Structure 1
Amino acid sequence: MSTNPIRPSNVKSVSGHQARLVFIVAAFLGLTIGIGESVLEYFGLRSSLFETTEKALQAFEKTASFAVVSQDLELATQIATGLLHFEAIISVELMDQTGAVLISEERTLTPEEDRWGPTLFPTITHAEAVELRDPAEPGVTVGFLRIQASSWQVSEEWEKRLVVALLSMMAGIAALAAILFFISQRYVTRPLLKLADAYRHLNADAPKQSPLPKASDYDFLEYREIAASGARLMRDITRNTEVRDLTASELFRSQKRFQDFAEISSDWFWETDRDGGISYISASFTKTLNKRSGEIYGRTLEETASEDANTAKWKGFNEIIEQRRQFRDFRYDIESQPGVRKTVSINGRPFYDEAGTFIGYRGTGADVTNERLIAEARNEALQRAENANRTKSEFLATMSHEFRTPLNAIIGFSSLLTLPNTRAMAVERLTEYSGAIHESGQHMLELVNDILDISAIEAGKRTLTLEEVGIGAVFTHSISQVEGLAKDKAIAISTSVEMASDLMIADERSVRQILLNLLSNAVKFTPAGGKIRCTAEADGSEIIFRIEDSGVGISKDRLPTIAEPFSHSSIHPHVAKEGTGLGLSIVRSLTHFLGGTFMIDSEVGMGTCVTVILPRVGQDTSLTQDMDATD
């Protein structure tokens, strides 16, 4: 450490700067006061001068009236000369009432450019005129006496006085500044320089080897206090240096330990300020979630989330923050990149300064996306298992009833036919028994066919045979299959086929099965005397089939699952219909199998409308279905 530092050229001396300030302040105050007083004096003299000229004019008024009336030129000259004796008056003019000038005289003034000094105030000219009255008849005007007064004399005199006043004032200011400078140099600057020289030799890095300033070397109490404070300061520095070295070493080890933990940990550490803005986050966060620190700093935890903050979860979290409580395992989603959602879990606790003032939260965070995915997959698997189990139960319950009914009829009537006295029965009775057995067998065959059809479609084993299908013909054939049942219930079936002669390339068996299932359902769930409307229309490259009935309808809450296997469309157990409940499911599956669209719209008590849209020219998807099923 240098003991004789060179003072930089741009650093000012206290004494020199103090002297300049003293001189400037004294000069400013002296000049301001002196000039102010001189200006006031000037305006006072000028005002007095003009008042004197007015009084002089009034004094010569009667004499001037007599000179005008008598046209006495000699008297008029004496009046002008007398008025010009007043130094403020620079011109006199005497005229009669006709405007004829009797006498006119002017004073010769020194031009302003020939004056020795600058003109601080411009010369003011003041004109005065009085009407002259006839001495014999005071009411008659006989002429005018006009004068001009100027402040030139006051200006010249005042400027001389101002210069003298300023010179004497500057001398006094200089003397005052010198006295003040000497006093400040003796009692302020020198002691301060002495203290500065003593402190200049102190070395904070080696306080034990640094000489301390002695308080007894100074005459005044204030400087002794400064010297004593310096001695105490050096003693404190000596003690604090030792503590600082120990603290710095421990702090370095703690920081290194924290840094190592933060870098190798899969979790990350975070900290917020008192307003909730993130003020620190460890590097593990940016590695895990592919975020830059600049995208996070200053934002609140809520603002980093990709969720709606108006949910009950976030409202509860904000209440915890407002109440300054600790929290654990708070989970929310963050968008690590467009379209990629990750779930994080954070723990946090508030921290305070030495005075107990809340200054923020700090805590840890972890990526729990895999846990969320595993939980979602587990829940989905459980849901599928529950659905499968429920479907199995529904299937078994339905099939046990549907198969038992025709089997009971077959077994019962066939048992009657095996009785010994069967031959003695009438032919009509035998025909009735055999017909019941045949009808029950047909019903059971329909049940088995429905199950086999839905199984083949769902397994992708359904064979698709594309051929030309007449739209009108397939509609007519399907309607003919249900006309008997419709007549029994007095149900009117109307058709509207815009392109009855048109053809479509499709699997005819599947199209027939779709229309027949829809028509059967419509007849089954339409009460006696109802109506069924069947339409077919073209829309570009698509054919739209629509079956609309006036039946009991389906409630809105059942519509999303009405096409699921084994789902009945009844709205009341007393109107439940027989069947496997596979009709609409088969229609939907066949529609998708043919590359079409299935839609259903219904309202309780208003009927049901089912729309099937099929491509006019279908594609062979059976190979694709087989490959998908194999995969």
Structure 2
Amino acid sequence: MEASSEQPQSVSVHLARLVIFSAVVLGLIVGTLEVTLEYKKLRTTLFEHSEQVAKAFEDIAARAAANRDRSLAEEVATGLLEFKSIASVEVSDETGTVLAWKECGQVEAFGSWLPFEIPSAQHTILLELSTPSSGGEAKGYLKVTASSAQATQIWASQLGMVLISVLFGTALLAGTLLFITHLYVSRPMLRLAEAFRRLDVSDPKNSPLPDPEMFRFREFREIAENGVRLMRDIKRNSEVRDLTANELYRSQKRLQDFAEISSDWFWESDRDGGITYISPSFTKTLNKKTGEVYGRTIAQTTAEPVNTPKWHKLGEIQRQRRQFRDFRYDMAIQPGEVKTVSINGRPFYDEDGTFIGYRGTGADVTNERLIAEARNEALQRAEQASRAKSEFLATMSHEFRTPLNAIIGFSSLLSMPELLKAGVDRVTEYSTAINDSGQHMLALVNDILDISAIEAGKRVLTLEEVEIDGLLSHSLSQIESQAGAKSISLIVEQNAQVGTMVSDERSVRQILLNLLSNAVKFTPSGGEIRVTVDEIGKDIVFRVADNGIGIPSDRLPTIAEPFSHSAIHPHVAKEGTGLGLSIVRSLAVLLDGGFTIESEVGTGTTVTVRLPKNGSGASGEVQTA
């Protein structure tokens, strides 16, 4: 509702108007009733008086009528007209003959100040005239007409006096009432208004309070006391408000300082999960604008699938309005950049206990995750290395013990005198066995020394022009006997344009021999080994594929690690140090080449080695032939 633009009226003025109006109306009503009753009384008295006057002339009028004395009758009529209330007089004899008739002149207008005209009433008096000698027989008639005009004129004069007295009385009454009202109502109210006008709610501490002792009457004193009590409450509330505002400012400033200096950030969401606030530390920590997450739920800010048990559990916790801690998920910061964050949250409610939303903290735990992953990877590698070491030692203990036992055993037999009697063939057989065992021992030691030298960066490379065809033929000749013993077919596919390459011949030969030996070792009897040599771009690509037992997929990532022997798979356990593929990969990398392996259990294995044709990228200690 719009406030009225009119100025409010003073209660004194309004009360004065009301008192004067009421007094005037009441005075007029009372005065009018009084004058009306007086008018009726006056008219009744006038008519009674006129009848008495007429009866006073009855004897004279009877004598005039009996004697038919017109002169006397005229005197009677004239005498009666002397009375102003009598309008006309008629004297007649017994036959009805009028002896005298007179009427008063026009009465002057009266009450001309009145806004209305008051009609006058008439009263006719008819007297039968008789004389004592007539024995009561009528000798004539006296007809007198009385008018209320005179009474009306008198009443009009009285009405004017009454009105004047009413106005005077009204003014006196109004003045008296106004004085009393001002003394007992208006003046205390004005003092109260003045006292409350001096109050300043915006500065209650410096506002002068009204003194209740200034007021005589209980009602006004109670109003003043209530005003004082109210201002004191406002003053206390103002002090509390100031203290609260100061404390709130300090708390907000403290929270703002903590939020700005902390690497963690604060966040808040509504009841639907949409982010409604996030502190500036979010931008500093993640280099991501806060506007990019406002209005979005936590699940809408992640870069990982949310249809997982982890996210389902978080949704269930939020539906149950429970607290959660250290919930970790990946957040996309920029295209191709993902960081891991950890958030804590707890629900909060309003004064009525209605759930409003969640608020909590968040932190960037990407480094922690990377450290944990690196630690886990290091632990896995350490465990793997420890396991490989144990496997290697177990394998080497067997591998070294077998040829050593053969060497010691056969050499002991050679030292026995009885062996000389057995003949040259037996000595030759034992000597050959000792030589084979020594060669086996030498191969084992060479593998270990080779991988150690490569890992230590002490392998010396001699770059020279190498005939690929001759190198391939020599390598195949080394394993032909082993392949023939297992009826394994050797298929060679060489691009006719591939002729020579600049590289370390010993390293390339060692790569091919290790690949071919492994292929023969893990290819069952009647199998097939396919060797492919091709030139692709600036590289020479050697590919050895077999249809052997294959390598499980979980072993592929570590199969080329040093000492990763396949003995952990009993169905593929073979002799050797387990360093063949490790040496191949290390030599390929040393020659600035590449190494890949593809395998499927039951289908076979394909190993591809890519080496630079001109040898310019070889690293390590290089000598040029």
TM-score range, shorter chain: 0.5 to 0.7
Following the alignment from structure 2 to structure 1, what is the Cα–Cα distance between the partners of residues 296 and 223? 47
Report the equivalent of 2:478: 481
CA contact (8 A) 1:554 1:602 kept: yes
Of 248, 251, 261, 2:245 maps to 251
C-alpha RMSD of the superposition: 3.7
Q: How does 1:604-615 map to 2 (within 5 A)?
A: 604-615=601-612
SS in 1 for 2:353: coil
Of 496, 510, 517, 2:514 maps to 517
Q: 1:236 to 1:268 in 2, by over 3 A?
A: farther
Report the equivalent of 1:158: none
Of 379, 382, 388, 1:385 maps to 382
SS in 1 for 2:306: coil
1:441 Cα deviation (Å)?
A: 0.4
Give the counterpart letter for 2:249 in structure 1: Q
Q: How does 1:495-574 map to 2 (within 5 A)?
A: 495-499=492-496, 502-569=499-566, 573=570
CA contact (8 A) 1:268 1:366 kept: yes
Q: How does 1:352-501 map to 2 (within 5 A)?
A: 352-499=349-496
1:432 Cα deviation (Å)?
A: 0.6
Query: CA-to-partner distance for each residue in 1:562-586, whole Å, 9 max, x for gaps?
Result: 3233334579635532111222222
Of 269, 272, 275, 1:275 maps to 272
CA contact (8 A) 2:388 2:564 kept: no
Give the counterpart letter for 1:585 in structure 2: S
The TM-score with structure 1 as length reference comes to 0.60
1:599 Cα deviation (Å)?
A: 2.4
1:478 Cα deviation (Å)?
A: 1.0
CA contact (8 A) 2:465 2:501 kept: yes
Q: How does 1:1-12 map to 2 (within 5 A)?
A: none
CA contact (8 A) 2:563 2:579 kept: yes
CA contact (8 A) 1:472 1:499 kept: no
CA contact (8 A) 2:458 2:620 kept: no
Give the counterpart letter for 1:252 in structure 2: N
Query: CA-to-partner distance for each residue in 1:440-495, whole Å, 9 max, x for gaps?
Result: 00111111111111122222221121111112111111111112222223322222
Q: How does 1:39-438 map to 2 (within 5 A)?
A: 203-205=200-202, 236=230, 239-264=233-258, 266=262, 267-334=264-331, 342-438=339-435
Following the alignment from structure 1 to structure 2, what is the Cα–Cα distance between the partners of residues 291 and 609? 47
Q: 1:343 to 1:546 in 2, by over 3 A?
A: closer
Following the alignment from structure 1 to structure 2, what is the Cα–Cα distance between the partners of residues 368 and 229? 66
CA contact (8 A) 2:391 2:565 kept: no
Are residues 1:622 and 2:616 paired? no
1:342 Cα deviation (Å)?
A: 4.8
Following the alignment from structure 1 to structure 2, what is the Cα–Cα distance between the partners of residues 237 and 568? 93
Give the counterpart letter for 1:239 in structure 2: D
Query: CA-to-partner distance for each residue in 1:360-411, whole Å, 9 max, x for gaps?
Result: 2223344445544443343333223212211111110110011111001000
The TM-score with structure 2 as length reference comes to 0.60
Following the alignment from structure 1 to structure 2, what is the Cα–Cα distance between the partners of residues 603 and 340? 34
Query: What residue ranges of structure 2 are gaps of 5+ in the alignment?
Result: 8-188, 212-221
Report the equivalent of 2:577: 580
Report the equivalent of 1:34: none
Following the alignment from structure 1 to structure 2, what is the Cα–Cα distance between the partners of residues 594 and 333? 40
Following the alignment from structure 1 to structure 2, what is the Cα–Cα distance between the partners of residues 329 and 250? 34
Following the alignment from structure 1 to structure 2, what is the Cα–Cα distance between the partners of residues 284 and 210? 51
Following the alignment from structure 2 to structure 1, what is the Cα–Cα distance between the partners of residues 291 and 326? 25
Following the alignment from structure 1 to structure 2, what is the Cα–Cα distance between the partners of residues 491 and 470? 26
**Larger radius of gyration between Structure 1 and Structure 2:** 2
CA contact (8 A) 2:498 2:535 kept: no
SS in 1 for 2:530: strand
Query: CA-to-partner distance for each residue in 1:288-345, whole Å, 9 max, x for gaps?
Result: 4444444444343444445443333232222222211122333344456666655444
SS in 2 for 1:466: strand
Following the alignment from structure 1 to structure 2, what is the Cα–Cα distance between the partners of residues 547 and 529? 17
1:200 Cα deviation (Å)?
A: 8.3
The number of residue pairs the alignment matches comes to: 425
Following the alignment from structure 2 to structure 1, what is the Cα–Cα distance between the partners of residues 521 and 371? 46
Q: 1:615 to 1:392 in 2, by over 3 A?
A: same
1:239 Cα deviation (Å)?
A: 2.1
Of 555, 562, 587, 1:590 maps to 587
Query: CA-to-partner distance for each residue in 1:215-239, whole Å, 9 max, x for gaps?
Result: xxxxxxxxxxxxx999989965652
Q: 1:13 to 1:210 in 2, by over 3 A?
A: farther
CA contact (8 A) 1:555 1:571 kept: no
Query: CA-to-partner distance for each residue in 1:198-255, whole Å, 9 max, x for gaps?
Result: 998875336775899xxxxxxxxxxxxxxx9999899656524421331331332243
Following the alignment from structure 1 to structure 2, what is the Cα–Cα distance between the partners of residues 377 and 576? 32
Query: CA-to-partner distance for each residue in 1:398-451, whole Å, 9 max, x for gaps?
Result: 100111110010000001111232322211110111000001001111111111
Give the counterpart letter for 1:556 in structure 2: S
CA contact (8 A) 1:473 1:500 kept: no
CA contact (8 A) 1:290 1:337 kept: no
Q: 1:336 to 1:210 in 2, by over 3 A?
A: farther
Q: 1:500 to 1:444 in 2, by over 3 A?
A: farther
More off after superposition, 496-505 vs 402-411: 496-505
Following the alignment from structure 1 to structure 2, what is the Cα–Cα distance between the partners of residues 394 and 322? 53
Give the counterpart letter for 1:531 in structure 2: E
